[in-house]
Chains A and B, each alone.
Chain A
Amino acid sequence: MIKMINITKVFPNGVMALKDVSIRIRKGEFVFIVGPSGAGKSTIIKLISREILPTKGYLIVGGKDINLLKRKEIPYYRRKIGVVFQDFRLLPNKTVYENVSFAMEVVGASSKQINKQVPEVLDMVGLRHKAASVPSELSGGEQQRVSLARAIVNNPEMVIADEPTGNLDPETSMDIFSLLNEINRRGTTIIVVTHADSIVNQMKKRVISLDKGRVVGDQEKGVYNL
């Protein structure tokens, strides 16, 4: 699914975020990316979502070199990826339902598809009863579940999450991770950047460890050991 080949990323301010990183992620995998701040974790997420380009190296996603994507092709590429952020990034003036249906309107879904799909994903994240609430009326965990619903409503091939539980307490975090696990069980590739060491240890998934822009560990059923 994803092949990062000898990727180096140097930001315009001279900071070298990734040094010669090669990672291969198969379709349907659940991968944690861990490491101290400044290790280059978020840079990987931004590369995959095509917000930034690598300085050197290749990034192949679904058989395509995404460095070569034309500007016009980027939106269509992004539709294959659901993104979840630490700060949820919900639209404050829209209801829970609208925040999710919005993602379908953006990709040009018909209202028939929207009316069918949105209640389904809201069911899945357990927020159907809060469909008419606005984000400010929800707890952090609930907001993150809305953002998860939005990320998966278009049936993406993969979900990437950047510190999805960074603002949540451990118990709520566990809910989010079991949801991600559930989504993964349906065949969606999941990549999670996180600091939540105890949960990483508990879930026994593949763990890629980064430090100072290099891969320092990559183990199946790994643990957070930095």
Chain B
Amino acid sequence: MIFRNMRYFIREALNSMGRNRWMSIASIGAVTAALIILGVFLIVNLNFNFIAEDVETQVEITAYLDDNLNGEDISKIGRELIQLHGVKEVVFVSRGQALKEFREQLGDRGDLLDALEKDNPLPNSYRIKAHDPHMVGEIADSVALLKGVDEVRYGKEIVEKLFKITEIIRIIGLVVMVVFSLISVFIISNTVKLTVYARRKEIQIMQQIGATDWFIRWPFLIEGIILGFLGSLISIVLLNIGYYYIYNSVLLNIPIIKLLPREMFLYDISLWFIGIGTCIGAIGSSVSMRRFLRV
């Protein structure tokens, strides 16, 4: 029965979308907006995680040294460092070397550093590797106590910060998404309500002829689903285009930051979005029909 009538249902749904053109566009726009906002948060979140993981693999302690130390002091610190419990390897990085490495990291844009050649702001440092990444925190604390060490940095610090940021982004993203989903449901339910209202006479006649509730419901449900589906499709296209540009411009302008490649997640997100958009549409139209079908 349902499949035999599917063509009728879809035709009715499309007709009513044509009749309420502006409300339909508004509904699609609402779903698109909700999903784009969700998408932006998701993408930012995924990228922070990606960067955090990348940083975590290079858990290395860097001890920046005071500027006014002489060669003797520096090698003394080096000897002290290698004797610390859990330290596997200590490498001295001179200020000149640090600048050279930085230049290499920048690749093509290394010329940016030309101005710094005469007055190098980078300090001398030791890079310390631990036997066990879990001991990094402890070693870092001991290193910080050594005389002549100005500042200690280790990847974990950044990792923890990044994880904290991703956590916050995730919560904000979730709240924003829920709010926007509710708004979309509301707008779609209003669009479908207009359709139901415009066709209340028709619905009444259908009920008198003996149409089942589901026969009456299907066209409206399909209308909501189509609106939600179109909204999700547009959001996917816009997110893809947007990320493509951002990815390339980050690659060009900030080579240190490596963003998550598009194909690693946008496929999954697209599928999810189509699912979410369709559900928003279905829920929206169900909400508006409940009241009207009681005759």
Q: What residues make up the interface of A, taking CB atoms closer than 8 Å to B?
A: 49, 51, 71-72, 75-79, 81, 83, 89, 91, 102-103, 105-108, 110, 150, 154
Contact = CB atoms under 8 A, between A and B. Distances in A.
B205 A91 contact: yes
B201 A110 contact: no
Given A75-B213, A89-B201, A49 B208 contact: yes
A160 to B, nearest CB: 10
For the complex of A and B, the 8 pairs showing the least CB-CB separation, nearest first, are A79-B210, A78-B210, A106-B211, A75-B212, A75-B210, A108-B1, A103-B209, A106-B209
A78 B4 CA distance: 21
6 contacts: A75-B210, A78-B207, A78-B209, A78-B210, A102-B209, A106-B209
B8 A105 contact: yes
A93 B62 CA distance: 78
B165 to A, nearest CB: 53
Given A79-B210, A105-B5, A107-B210, 4 more contacts: A78-B208, A83-B208, A103-B209, A108-B5
B167 interface: no
| Interface size range on B against A | 10 to 19
A54 to B, nearest CB: 18
B210 A76 contact: yes
B206 interface: yes
B257 interface: no
Q: Is the interface of B mostly helix, strand, loop or mixed?
A: helix
Contacts of B211: 75, 106-107
A196 to B, nearest CB: 23
Nearest to B212: A75
A107 B209 contact: yes
A78 B211 CA distance: 9
Contacts of A108: 1, 4-5, 215
Given A89-B205, A91-B202, A91-B205, A106 B210 contact: yes
Contacts of A71: 213
B112 interface: no
A75 B207 contact: yes
Task: Among B4, B8, B206, B209, find the residue whose CB has the most chain A CB atoms closer than 10 A.
Answer: B209
A174 to B, nearest CB: 26
Contacts of B208: 49, 78, 83, 89
B295 A51 contact: yes
A77 B207 CA distance: 11
Contacts of A91: 201-202, 205
Contacts of B205: 89, 91
A71 B202 CA distance: 20
Nearest to B294: A71
Contacts of B204: 89
A72 B207 CA distance: 12
A106 B214 CA distance: 11
Interface in B243-295: 295
Contacts of A76: 210, 212
A35 B260 CA distance: 81
